[in-house]
């Protein structure tokens, strides 16, 4: 299999990230693929597509840079309730914890109410031209997941706040396995930092976490983001986006960011 046909390749019960999952900042794995791998394990722990539970919140702690080495995934149940399940999944390299996610899953209930959805009030991806996630002004970056991701800008990082963009990941997480809506959303959610409006004199921006709150699953292949960034003079900030598909809003993503002043 080609190196660029999936984000991870299995090695027994472990996973190694491919170059397509790479970070622009070094010989590392991007935060999105890490979040996708952890989300996949959460879904499997809950019982897969047949589970009566909806994963309503995922909080990822990106504690250490993740190199392109074999990774082990381990899950445990923290709360096993009739209406609430809490799952913790961790990613290890040689016994060292690299990242983790805490997931809250809520039991679905049919309330007998009609579904009300409002399409995003910005153009849909089919009407937009292909683009790049990171601007040329970012300088020389390593080829990786930001280049694999398909991008359709409505208003980019230089167009003021909020920025708006559609994203799609064309590769599977692992070979021969279609990504679930949850995994696809998790893989793309980390793009919110790169897609956020740019402000001088701060940069680059590094996020230490990802928090996803989802009231429904992604429909289709395109994830829309309406993004805002708030960075203080302390160098600490928050990036936030409303997430949508072509039918309407599906939730929110928030990242804590560390901003390093250039020059």
pLDDT digits (tens, 9 = 90+) for 4-13: 789 999 999 9
pLDDT at 2: 43
Residue 62 to residues 21, 35, 52, 87, 91, Cα–Cα distance (Å): 15, 9, 29, 17, 10
CB 22 within 8 A of CB 145: yes
- Can you read off the two tokens belonging to residue 248? 């309407």
Is-cis flag, bond preceding 162, omega within 30? yes
Q: In this model, does residue 1 exceed pLDDT 70? A: no
Split at pLDDT 50, 70, 90, the class of 3 is low
Q: In this model, does residue 62 exceed pLDDT 80? A: yes
Split at pLDDT 50, 70, 90, the class of 144 is very high
Q: How many CB atoms within 10 Å of residue 14?
A: 15
Q: In this model, does residue 56 exceed pLDDT 80? A: yes
Mean confidence (pLDDT) of the chain = 92
pLDDT at 119: 86
| pLDDT, tens only, 83-116 | 999 999 999 999 999 999 999 999 999 888 777 7
| pLDDT, tens only, 149-196 | 999 999 998 888 899 999 999 999 999 999 999 999 999 999 999 999
CB 116 within 8 A of CB 129: no
Q: In this model, does residue 47 exceed pLDDT 70? A: yes
pLDDT at 232: 84
pLDDT at 202: 54
Split at pLDDT 50, 70, 90, the class of 138 is low
Sign (positive/negative) of CA torsion 237, 30, 40, 217?
positive
Q: What is the value of pTM for the model shown?
A: 0.93
SS3 assignment, position 78: strand
Which region among 47-51, 187-191, 258-262 has the lowest average model confidence (pLDDT)?
258-262
Enumerate domains of the chain plus CATH numbers: 8-108+125-261 (2.40.160.210)
């Amino acid at each position: 299999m080609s190196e660029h046909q999936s984000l991870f390749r299995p090695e027994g019960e472990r996973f190694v990230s491919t170059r397509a999952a790479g970070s622009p900042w070094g010989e590392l794995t991007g935060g999105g693929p890490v979040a996708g791998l952890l989300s996949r394990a959460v879904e499997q722990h809950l019982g897969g597509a047949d589970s009566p539970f909806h994963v309503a919140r995922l909080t990822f702690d990106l504690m250490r840079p993740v190199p392109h080495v074999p990774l082990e995934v381990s899950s445990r149940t923290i709360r096993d309730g009739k209406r609430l399940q809490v799952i913790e999944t961790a990613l290890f390299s040689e016994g060292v914890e690299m990242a983790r996610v805490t997931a809250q899953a809520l039991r679905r209930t049919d309330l007998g109410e009609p579904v009300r959805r409002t399409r995003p009030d910005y153009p849909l991806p089919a009407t937009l031209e292909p683009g790049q996630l990171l601007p040329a002004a970012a300088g020389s970056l390593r080829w990786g997941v930001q280049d694999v991701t398909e991008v359709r800008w409505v208003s980019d990082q230089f167009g003021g706040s909020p920025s708006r963009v559609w994203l799609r990941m064309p590769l599977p997480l692992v070979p021969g396995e279609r990504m679930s809506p949850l995994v696809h959303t998790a893989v793309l959610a980390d793009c919110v930092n790169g897609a956020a409006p740019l402000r001088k004199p701060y940069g680059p921006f590094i996020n230490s976490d990802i928090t996803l709150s989802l009231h429904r699953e992604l429909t289709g292949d395109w994830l829309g983001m309406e993004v805002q960034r708030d960075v203080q003079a302390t160098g600490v900030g928050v990036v936030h986006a409303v997430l949508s598909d072509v039918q309407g809003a599906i939730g929110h993503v928030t990242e804590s960011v560390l901003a390093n002043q250039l020059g």
